[in-house]
């Protein structure tokens, strides 16, 4: 539904109240907010209403909106970029074959499809071991995939607005009821019974909520960010890799691009300069300077635990804004779809009952954190110990089929965990102990892996006990903070 009203300047009292409830506003947000509210008295503002307002027109936001549309609910998606530009920074990505039927998506065709690869290779640092991972992926054109999702949303009666940048949340009676935005430079107010933040890593809506809204509002820190650098190359000489190739020690990959080209990518903490330096060192060590560079792109992905709660009154959080990327790869499309699917089912039920309170939306928290969220929490505890291993130690693991076996990596991609029997665990521990005794694996690293495994089991069990209702949340958070080593009050 669309209406027009007089756009009212915020009065001094209202501004003071909002500033008191929200102590931190970034310079950019302040500048945009000022642009939105200083248009003058009597200026007309466009108003839109829907069942759900989704901030962010990426894969997560559009998938969620599509699912609601299939249930007969009307959605409005706000995307700050031009729709034609969404996905261009990545350009090409891969998606697990098994995830298409899981999420009700047809397989890619025509301009979307780059290639199909039933297997990939994981390489040891010394390149003497290459483990085949039998787990099929489709390599796809990301902007074309976004366009497909836009069509899905619109086919179900939804609306996708491009160049619509959120300025401020609208909160009434303790409920998030909409957002103020600038749409192609003009003020816009969009209201919905549920408002979703799927805006990406910076969480433009989450970080503007009041501190007492029940959701963590701090922006992501640099140390919790992976910087992804992609280099597209063509005219590659004979002997260079083909297909999907993963180099775990370097956190790097060599994957197919268009035609016979390749994408050389890496994800590293510490900023883009550090990541590009690591990219160059890896590429020069293994491949020299093959072919010619077509283009270079870069982007950020979150690498940290999700906020403890993903819901508030009238509010839901998902995708990169909720830090739902896979800890072992940094990829987040399909893992976010898992969360979006749960969120959509919960939102549909809440909207049909006419209750969008925090309590009514809480099942999204419980179902997500007891399942995928528990697995990801466990991995975030374990992976730093593995990432700290030396080159020689990672070579040892590859040569003795520990952690990096083809079957381990297949299970990790499929189930986000590896299933080890007690016999498997004992055999792995025996091989590691032999590595320590022979001087090929340090005792300190062995202890670090054991300690991380024990801590990961504890935190996974805690997440699997995520409270059924908000009543037990505060106590659960206090225990979670202890397990994460965070400060508690």
Res. 37: pLDDT tops 50: no
* Cα 245 to Cα 130: distance, rounded to the nearest angstrom: 9
pLDDT tens digits along 176-203: 999 999 999 999 999 999 999 999 999 9
Q: Is the pLDDT of residue 28 over 80?
A: no
* Rama region for 271: left / alpha / beta (φ>0; ψ in -120 to 50; rest): left
pLDDT at 421: 87
Tell me the average pLDDT across 247-276. Answer: 97
The full DSSP string for 366-420 is: HHHHHTHHHHHHHHHHHHHHHHT--HHHHHHHHHTTSS-SHHHHHHHHHHSS---
- SS3 of residue 47 by DSSP: strand
Predicted confidence band at 12 (pLDDT cuts at 50, 70, 90)? very low
- pLDDT score recorded for residue 217: 97
* Max CA separation in the chain (angstroms): 80
- CA–CA distance, 213 with 215 (Å, rounded to integer): 6
Angle, CA 359 vertex, CA 358 and CA 361 arms, to 5°: 65
The residue whose two tokens read 């530009």 is: 85
The whole-angstrom separation of Cα 378 and Cα 457 is 7
Confidence of residue 1 (pLDDT cuts 50, 70, 90): low
State how far the alpha carbon of 25 is from the alpha carbons of 20, 31, 161, 174, 213, in Å.
Answer: 11, 10, 25, 20, 16
Is CATH 3.30.9.10 the right assignment for the domain spanning 106-140+222-302?
Answer: yes
Question: Which tokens hold the place of 99?
Answer: 């995830």
Backbone angles phi, psi at 252, to 5 degrees: -130, 165
Residue 269 has pLDDT above 80, yes or no: yes
Task: Name the token pair of 195.
Answer: 């408002």
Q: Where do runs of H (alpha helix) occur along 193-318? A: 272-286
Please compute the mean of the pLDDT values over residues 335-346 and round it to a whole number: 98
Kind plus residue range of the DSSP H or E element containing 254: strand 252-256
Instruction: Answer yes or no: are the C-beta atoms of 255 and 263 closer than 8 Å.
Output: yes
Q: What are phi and psi of 478, to 5 degrees?
A: -60, -40
Tokens encoding 304: 């940290």
| Per-residue confidence band for 7, with pLDDT thresholds at 50, 70 and 90 | very low
Whole-number pLDDT of residue 280: 98
**Is residue 87 classed as helix, strand or coil in its secondary structure?**
coil
pLDDT exceeds 50 at position 36: no
Neighbour count for residue 336 (Cβ, 10 Å): 28
Please, are residues 390 and 113 in contact by the beta-carbon 8 Å criterion?
no
| Structural domain boundaries in the chain | 2-86+145-215+307-370, 106-140+222-302, 374-484
pLDDT digits 0-9 by tens, 16-26? 333 333 333 22
Q: Looking at residue 420, what is its pLDDT?
A: 84
Task: Give 33's pLDDT tier (boundaries 50, 70, 90).
Answer: very low
The pLDDT value given to residue 34: 34
Residue 489 confidence (pLDDT): 56
In this prediction, residue 88 has a pLDDT band, given cuts at 50, 70 and 90, of very high
Specify the pTM.
0.91
Q: State residue 121 phi and psi, 5-degree precision.
A: -125, 135
Relative to beta strand 159-161, strand 175-183 is: unpaired
Mean per-residue pLDDT over the chain, rounded: 91
CA-to-CA dists, residue 242 to 106, 238, 246, 470, 487, angstroms: 26, 10, 11, 50, 47
Distance CA 27, CA 357 (A): 32
User: What is the percent of the chain with per-residue pLDDT over 90, rounded to a whole number?
Assistant: 88
What was the pLDDT predicted at 223? Answer: 94
Instruction: Judge whether residue 418 has pLDDT over 50.
Output: yes
From CA 465, how far away is CA 476, in angstroms rounded? 9
Q: What is the pLDDT of residue 488?
A: 63
Q: Which helix (H) or strand (E) holds 316?
A: strand 315-317
Question: What does each C-alpha distance from 91 to 11, 96, 228, 424 come to in angstroms?
Answer: 45, 17, 13, 40
At 27 the three-state DSSP class reads helix
d(CA 170, CA 190) in angstroms, rounded, equals 9
Q: Which of 468, 466, 462 is nearest to 483 (CA)?
A: 462
Question: Which residues are 364's β-sheet partners?
Answer: none
User: For 300-322, what is each residue's pLDDT tens digit?
Assistant: 999 999 999 999 999 999 999 99
Mean pLDDT confidence for 405-415: 96
Q: What is the pLDDT of residue 487?
A: 77
Which tens digit of pLDDT belongs to each residue from 106-146?
A: 999 989 999 999 999 999 999 999 999 999 999 999 999 99
Q: What is the pLDDT of residues 342-386, one digit of tens each?
A: 999 999 999 999 999 999 999 999 999 999 999 999 999 999 999
**Least confident among 6-20, 252-266, 305-319:** 6-20
Contact of 86 with 103, CB cutoff 8 Å: no
CATH number of 2-86+145-215+307-370: 3.50.50.60
Examine the pLDDT at 38 and tell me if it is beyond 90.
Answer: no
Chain position carrying tokens 């839901």: 316
Q: Single out the residue of 265, 423, 341 nearest to residue 64, CA to CA.
A: 341
| Eight-state DSSP code of residue 20 | H
pLDDT number for residue 456: 96
| Angle, in degrees to the nearest 10, between helices 333-353 and 59-70 | 40
């Amino acid at each position: 539904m669309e209406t027009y009203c007089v756009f009212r300047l915020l009065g001094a009292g209202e501004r003071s109240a909002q500033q008191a409830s929200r102590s931190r506003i970034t310079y950019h947000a302040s500048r945009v907010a000022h642009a939105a509210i200083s248009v003058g008295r009597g200026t007309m503002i466009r108003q839109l209403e829907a069942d759900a307002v989704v901030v962010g027109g990426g894969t997560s936001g559009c998938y969620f909106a599509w699912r609601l549309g299939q249930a007969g609910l009307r959605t409005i998606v706000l995307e700050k970029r031009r729709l034609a530009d969404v996905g261009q920074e990545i350009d090409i990505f891969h998606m697990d074959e098994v995830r298409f039927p899981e999420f009700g998506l047809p397989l890619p065709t025509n301009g979307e499809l780059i290639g199909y690869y039933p297997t990939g290779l994981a390489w040891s640092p010394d390149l003497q071991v290459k483990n085949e991972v039998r787990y099929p992926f489709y390599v796809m054109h990301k902007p074309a995939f976004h366009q497909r999702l836009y069509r899905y949303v619109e086919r179900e009666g939804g609306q996708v607005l491009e160049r619509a940048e959120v300025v401020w949340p609208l909160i009434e009676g303790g409920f998030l009821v909409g957002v103020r935005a600038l749409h192609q430079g003009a003020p816009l107010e969009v209201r919905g019974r549920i408002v979703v933040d799927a805006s990406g890593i910076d969480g433009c809506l989450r970080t503007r909520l009041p501190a007492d809204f029940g959701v963590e509002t701090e922006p992501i820190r640099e140390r919790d960010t992976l910087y992804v650098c992609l280099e597209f190359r063509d005219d590659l000489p004979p002997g260079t890799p083909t297909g999907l190739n993963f180099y775990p020690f370097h956190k790097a990959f060599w994957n197919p691009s268009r035609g016979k080209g390749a994408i050389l990518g890496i994800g590293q903490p510490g900023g883009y300069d550090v990541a590009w330096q690591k990219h160059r060192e890896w590429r020069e060590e293994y491949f020299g300077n093959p072919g010619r560079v077509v283009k270079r792109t870069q982007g950020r992905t979150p690498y940290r635990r999700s906020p403890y709660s993903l819901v508030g009154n009238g509010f839901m959080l998902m995708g990169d804004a909720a830090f739902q990327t896979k800890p072992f790869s940094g990829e987040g499309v399909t893992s976010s779809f898992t969360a979006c699917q749960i969120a959509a089912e919960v939102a549909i039920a809440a909207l049909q009952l006419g209750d969008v309170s925090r309590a009514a939306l809480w099942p999204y928290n419980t179902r997500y954190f007891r399942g995928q969220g528990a697995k990801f929490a466990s991995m975030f505890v374990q992976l730093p110990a593995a990432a700290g291993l030396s080159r020689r130690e990672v070579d040892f693991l590859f040569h003795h089929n520990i952690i990096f076996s083809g079957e381990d990596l297949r299970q990790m991609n499929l189930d986000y965990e590896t299933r080890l029997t007690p016999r498997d665990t004992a055999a792995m521990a025996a091989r590691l102990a032999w590595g320590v005794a022979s001087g090929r694996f340090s005792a300190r690293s062995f202890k670090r892996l054991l300690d991380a495994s024990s801590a990961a089991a504890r935190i996974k069990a805690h997440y699997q006990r995520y409270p059924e209702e908000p009543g037990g949340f505060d106590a659960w958070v206090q225990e979670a903070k202890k397990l994460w080593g965070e400060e508690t009050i």
